[in-house]
Amino acid sequence: MSQAGYVFAYGMVTAVATALGVLPFAFVRQISPRVIAASNAIASGLMLGACFGLVAEGAELGTWQTGVGGLLGVLFILITQRLLAHSDAGFGDVRGAGARKMILIVVVMTVHSIAEGVAIGASFAGGVTLATLITVAIAVHNVPEGLAITAVLRPQGTSLASCAWWSFFSSLPQPLVAVPAFFFVDAFTPALPYALGFAAGAMVFMVLVELLPEAYEEGQRATVGLLVSLSLIAMVAFQRML
């Protein structure tokens, strides 16, 4: 296989891993308001925890660049949200506020995969061992990201297969971006801290403006608080371990 083929295949592994995130939902039969609150809470915790890793990684490459990227990410969600609010966009059979949130999470997670694609491609420049390490790390942490997407899509009546597809889709930028990032590593590397910061800003803002308010509305404060905190800590500890 050519080098480009390797890079693409490695990126593809991480994308497929994302689809595994639907598995826990195979065991949830009834989607009640309590399940919606719990799903939103878990997705919030996982996404906030993921930001910890994005920022830590970005800051190692450039603190200010990561900071600027973060502000741009927030701005991006603000604008996307406004655009969606004024359009009659639907997601599958869903319309209105539910569809808006579904589109937003798929967009946010897809955009944030670009940063991870750059990371995979750039890591190949440091040798195959490093690349394998980074790819495994990204693949493993993609599973809870698929879970986060499913946690938002599934309560709106999306089928498990569609949830798996959208999870996979959200990670497609990883193989697609990894290849050019590998060939033009000198051009892509300076952009990495901006991209990581952007992903973190977009994810935190999405959680705070959409997911958490709904979780508190639908569920009990103590339960939501527990679920967010536990999933957040689990995600942070998990990233520190890798």
Partner 1 sequence: MDLVLIVLAAATASALAAALGVLPLLVRPTPPTAWLAWANALAAGMMIAAAFALAEPVQGAASGAFALGALVGILFIHGSRAFSQTEGLALNRLDQATPEYGYEVLLVGSLHSAAEGVAIGAAMASDAAFGVFVAAALALHNVPEGTLHTAVFRSRGVSLPRAAALAVVANLGQVVLAVTSFAVVVAAPAALPWALGFAAGALIYLVMVDLLPESYAGAGSTSIALAVILAMWAFSLLHRVLRG
Q: Which residues bind partner 1 (CB under 8 A)?
A: 48, 52, 55-56, 59, 63-64, 67, 70-71, 74, 78, 201, 204-205, 208-210, 212-213, 216, 221-222, 224-226, 228-230, 232-234, 236-238, 240-241
Which of helix, strand or coil describes residue 91? strand
Helix (H) or strand (E) holding 96: helix 96-124
Neighbours of 72 (CB within 10 A): 15
State in angstroms the smallest separation of the CB of 182 from partner 1.
28
Closer of 40 and 167 to partner 1 (Cβ): 40
CB burial readout 115-132, b (16+ within 10 A) else e:
bbbbbbbbbbeeeeeebe
CB-count exposure of residue 56 (10 Å: 0-12, 13-18, 19+): middle
State in angstroms the smallest separation of the CB of 221 from partner 1.
5
Closer of 6 and 52 to partner 1 (Cβ): 52
Q: Any residues with CB less than 8 A from the CB of 154 and at least 6 apart, and which?
A: 22, 25, 28, 31, 39, 160, 163
Residues 199 and 115: beta-carbon distance below 8 Å: yes
State the amino acid at position 83 in one-letter form. L
Q: Any residues with CB less than 8 A from the CB of 237 and at least 6 apart, and which?
A: none
State in angstroms the smallest separation of the CB of 177 from partner 1.
26
State in angstroms the smallest separation of the CB of 69 from partner 1.
11
Enter the DSSP assignment of 86: T
Closer of 10 and 205 to partner 1 (Cβ): 205
Closer of 157 and 213 to partner 1 (Cβ): 213
Q: Any residues with CB less than 8 A from the CB of 94 and at least 6 apart, and which?
A: 102, 156, 157, 158
State in angstroms the smallest separation of the CB of 239 from partner 1.
8
State in angstroms the smallest separation of the CB of 81 from partner 1.
8
Closer of 165 and 216 to partner 1 (Cβ): 216
Closer of 188 and 205 to partner 1 (Cβ): 205
